[in-house]
Chains A and B, each alone.
Chain A
């Protein structure tokens, strides 16, 4: 007779079979049987967070920096509801998460029992799928299916809700069978004909651009390599969304910088004026497109995406290629090489005028800012941080706001999986716990959370986690005492009515660091900035770095939302010189 295992044991046997080495969690009444088994499974290490949202973001950081699914374990009721923000964040940014929640015993479900909530009901719209396990015999299969759903196709979060009595009951363990097909849902759905069409469009293009996104990163490091190969072979310019940063080297001449609301002048103008747009793994988000009716009006649009529902959702495209980026790019390169050997030469000639135009836009130097001797400009802080860390293999996480955009603009990423930020949901408080997750996955690497003082206070308690596990994460706070992005919008669009965007009673971050048992460093002037950053980098413990920056600085360039790409707002330097013509200048 085969051995019987308790539900709690089955959970861990599944985690072992799925090669899960770390889970992030917080115990509570309805998951105690699972926590009881933890001691018997040495291959799974549990990281105790200080809030379930932190567990979720840490798992996201872990997943984004490794390409493996992140796992979190939380209790019923408040444990589950606290995880909802992180699940929604992962859903928006396509991060594979497996969330295991405890639930009240089956006979109490529906009675408003203590710490009961309708977990599967609450999380239905923010997961790819979820399960309430009502029979212990289904548990193993559900757990394995959960990993399969989270990691296949467009990745995303899933949730398995396990009532406490199921955790005690015994059943046989069914091991994992790798099934190729999921309920008839295939992921590669394109033909050679599509690829030929793409090659044909590439051949004819005079003003082409690659517009790449997080899908390239989700498709694995190989996808980034293939993308680089294709971009070099074609000689086309490339721009990237916030989530796609790192899949193409930011210091390469063909890279135009990030596009969208705070993207560079050259990338947004190139998007507006191009005749061929090749979208690789991006989703035409509203922060990218601006006003849909005037989005890139003259271009043929190609969209390569694994998610069929992303095609034609916001922007109608001329050629849709549904498939995994890695496999699509492999076929494209193969066809490309076969069809034309001297193609790249002739084509580069054809697009030389286009490059001239791009250089003109580039010469605007839209990321420039007015420096200062007295106060630290936030852009300067990021630049210095980049210069002093670029030789290390650095992982950057961020919170949400101005600092996030400055980090995206001024920190240059050259490898995929090095940039973890909350793009879709825009979750303030994401960066600190995400840094915890990244550092768990990469114990020897440098992990920095570029933060704002307002965001970081939302999940500050996770510093305690970092200290407990000796995670030397660096929290680099650009402190301007304002919710900077809110302040910026109020200045530009709400007649400088700074309603509730100033934080009057901030903690002393240096003392706070000491209270948590880590190291606090403060930089007040540009002069001392480098030394302080070096001091931070030389500290082998968690650091909170309080960088006091210019309080009034705004993040430019900017497309006011609801405006097309060619109506950008440039920075103060440019505004002073009155260089810009067109409607952009008069927008605010």
Chain B
């Protein structure tokens, strides 16, 4: 294939990738998540993380938060393609660097260790709103909320304190201040 003259077409110039958080408000109906996720996989867009739940029970609205990477053109396409889906009401898009937006992920850590290590583990989590959800003599479960990269590094660093299991959500996002996205 190396020297084939019948290349379907050659790809254009490579562009810089940005990380974006896309928030989608959708009708909470059967198959809606598959439509959104299928759009991403079908068109070759990236999903780094995804969080979804119903936020308005009266109007049956779910809020999907997707972290994705892409060139500005691709991110634009993602938004426009999402808006075309019938159950989609609105789409918001934030850059990860955006100071006006709060991003949070939650993680549950299970530690199995002696008391000394368990205490150190809790101490190490103290910057990330730790809550002890379960405690026995030789184990505990700690919940933290933090940014993605903070959780990344925590789950690496806490191994030495007996971290045996990690469960984490995708990012959720909300704007600061009194404004809401219309």
A-contact bits for B85-106, CB 8 A (1 contact / 0 none) = 1111110000000000000000
Chain B residues whose CB sits within 8 angstroms of the CB of A588 once the complex forms:
5
Return the contact of A292 from the options B12, B42, B84 (Cβ within 8 A). Answer: B12
Q: Is the C-beta of B77 less than 8 angstroms from some C-beta in chain A?
A: yes
A168: min CB distance to chain B, Å: 22
Q: Is the C-beta of B6 less than 8 angstroms from some C-beta in chain A?
A: yes
B9: min CB distance to chain A, Å: 4
Closest to A308 in B: B80
Q: Is the CB of B35 within 8 A of A562?
A: no
Q: Is the C-beta of A493 less than 8 angstroms from some C-beta in chain B?
A: yes
Q: Is the C-beta of B76 less than 8 angstroms from some C-beta in chain A?
A: yes
Chain A residues whose CB sits within 8 angstroms of the CB of B38 once the complex forms:
124-125
Chain B residues whose CB sits within 8 angstroms of the CB of A134 once the complex forms:
30
B-contact bits for A362-374, CB 8 A (1 contact / 0 none) = 0000000000000
Report if A184-B90 is in contact (Cβ < 8 Å); known contacts: A292-B12, A309-B84.
yes
Return the contact of A185 from the options B7, B10, B83 (Cβ within 8 A). Answer: B83
Q: Is the CB of A561 within 8 A of B76?
A: no
B8: min CB distance to chain A, Å: 6
Which residues A547-577 have CB closer than 8 A to chain B?
560-562
Q: Is the C-beta of B34 less than 8 angstroms from some C-beta in chain A?
A: yes
Q: Is the C-beta of B127 less than 8 angstroms from some C-beta in chain A?
A: no
B-contact bits for A90-121, CB 8 A (1 contact / 0 none) = 00000000000000000000000000000011
Q: Is the C-beta of A251 less than 8 angstroms from some C-beta in chain B?
A: no
Q: Is the CB of A561 within 8 A of B8?
A: yes
Return the contact of A124 from the options B7, B9, B34 (Cβ within 8 A). Answer: B34
Q: Is the CB of A562 within 8 A of B7?
A: yes
Closest to B72 in A: A312
Return the contact of A560 from the options B5, B88, B89 (Cβ within 8 A). Answer: B5
Chain A residues whose CB sits within 8 angstroms of the CB of B73 once the complex forms:
312, 316
Chain B residues whose CB sits within 8 angstroms of the CB of A312 once the complex forms:
73, 76-77
Closest to A322 in B: B80
Q: Is the CB of B6 within 8 A of A120?
A: no
Closest to B8 in A: A561
Bound-complex Cα distance A316 to B35 (A): 27
Closest to B82 in A: A309
Bound-complex Cα distance A493 to B31 (A): 44
Chain B contact patch, size range: 20 to 34
A-contact bits for B118-134, CB 8 A (1 contact / 0 none) = 00000000000000000
Chain A residues whose CB sits within 8 angstroms of the CB of B30 once the complex forms:
132, 134
Report if A561-B9 is in contact (Cβ < 8 Å); known contacts: A121-B34, A125-B42, A129-B86.
yes
Chain A contact patch, size range: 20 to 34
Bound-complex Cα distance A132 to B77 (A): 28
Return the contact of B9 from the options A120, A128, A489, A562 (Cβ within 8 A). Answer: A562
Q: Is the CB of A291 within 8 A of B10?
A: yes
Q: Is the C-beta of A204 less than 8 angstroms from some C-beta in chain B?
A: no
Q: Is the C-beta of A313 less than 8 angstroms from some C-beta in chain B?
A: yes
Q: Is the C-beta of A304 less than 8 angstroms from some C-beta in chain B?
A: no
B-contact bits for A460-498, CB 8 A (1 contact / 0 none) = 000000000000000000000000000001000110000
A-contact bits for B61-80, CB 8 A (1 contact / 0 none) = 00000000000010011001
Closest to B80 in A: A309
Q: Is the C-beta of A276 less than 8 angstroms from some C-beta in chain B?
A: no
Chain A residues whose CB sits within 8 angstroms of the CB of B31 once the complex forms:
120-121, 124, 132
Chain B residues whose CB sits within 8 angstroms of the CB of A494 once the complex forms:
5-6
Chain B residues whose CB sits within 8 angstroms of the CB of A493 once the complex forms:
4-6
Q: Is the C-beta of B115 less than 8 angstroms from some C-beta in chain A?
A: no
Q: Is the C-beta of B114 less than 8 angstroms from some C-beta in chain A?
A: no
Return the contact of A293 from the options B8, B12, B83 (Cβ within 8 A). Answer: B12
B67: min CB distance to chain A, Å: 21
Q: Is the C-beta of A514 less than 8 angstroms from some C-beta in chain B?
A: no
Q: Is the CB of B77 within 8 A of A124?
A: no
A461: min CB distance to chain B, Å: 31
A190: min CB distance to chain B, Å: 15
Q: Is the C-beta of A307 less than 8 angstroms from some C-beta in chain B?
A: yes
Q: Is the C-beta of B156 less than 8 angstroms from some C-beta in chain A?
A: no
Closest to A129 in B: B86
A-contact bits for B1-43, CB 8 A (1 contact / 0 none) = 0001111111011000000000000000011001100100010
Pull 28 A–B residue pairs with CB atoms less than 8 Å apart, ordered by A.
A120-B31, A121-B31, A124-B34, A124-B35, A124-B38, A128-B84, A129-B86, A132-B30, A132-B31, A149-B86, A153-B84, A183-B87, A184-B89, A292-B12, A293-B13, A309-B77, A309-B81, A312-B73, A316-B73, A493-B5, A494-B5, A560-B5, A560-B6, A561-B7, A561-B9, A562-B8, A562-B10, A588-B5
> Which 7 pairs between the two chains have the least Cβ-Cβ distance?
A309-B80, A493-B6, A562-B9, A129-B86, A493-B5, A562-B10, A292-B12
14 new A-B contacts, CB < 8 A, other than A182-B86, A290-B9, A560-B5, are A120-B31, A121-B31, A121-B34, A124-B35, A125-B42, A128-B86, A183-B88, A185-B83, A311-B80, A312-B73, A312-B77, A316-B73, A494-B5, A562-B7
